[in-house]
Amino acid sequence: MPAGVSWPRYLTFAAAAFASMITGSQIVHLHYRPLVDLHKYIYKELENFPEDIQEKIKNELREEGILK
């Protein structure tokens, strides 16, 4: 094992690190709510494309369930 650490201690550390990472990312996601206004950013970026391309992309995103 790395640095002479036993398997049980290594696995305990790995499990604790994984649980901490998952919990932290969930807390950040619930606090900052990053996907709530995603459609606003998509529409803003689509304004840079020609009309026909905008409609094609919008239709594809609606089919995939990303846009409402």
Q: What is the pLDDT of residues 13-68, one digit of tens each?
A: 999 999 999 999 999 999 998 888 888 999 999 999 999 999 999 999 999 988 87
48 and 21 both lie in a single domain: no
The single residue listed with the structure tokens 């950013």 is: 41
**The pLDDT value given to residue 63:** 94
- Alpha-helical (H) ranges within 1-68 are 7-32, 38-46, 51-64
| Whether residue 68 sits in one domain with residue 39 | yes
Exposure string of 7-39, with b = 16+ CB inside 10 Å and e = fewer, is eeeeeeeeeeeeeeeeeeeeeeeeeeeeeeeee
Pair (25, 40) in one structural domain: no
- 19 & 44 share domain: no
What local confidence, expressed as pLDDT, does residue 3 receive?
A: 82
Do 16 and 41 belong together in one domain?
no
13 and 24 share a domain? yes
Residue 7 pLDDT: 92
**Structural domain total, the chain:** 2
Range of the domain at 8: 1-34
Q: What is the pLDDT of residue 30?
A: 94
Could you identify the residue written with the tokens 């594809």? 60
Residue 3 DSSP SS3: helix
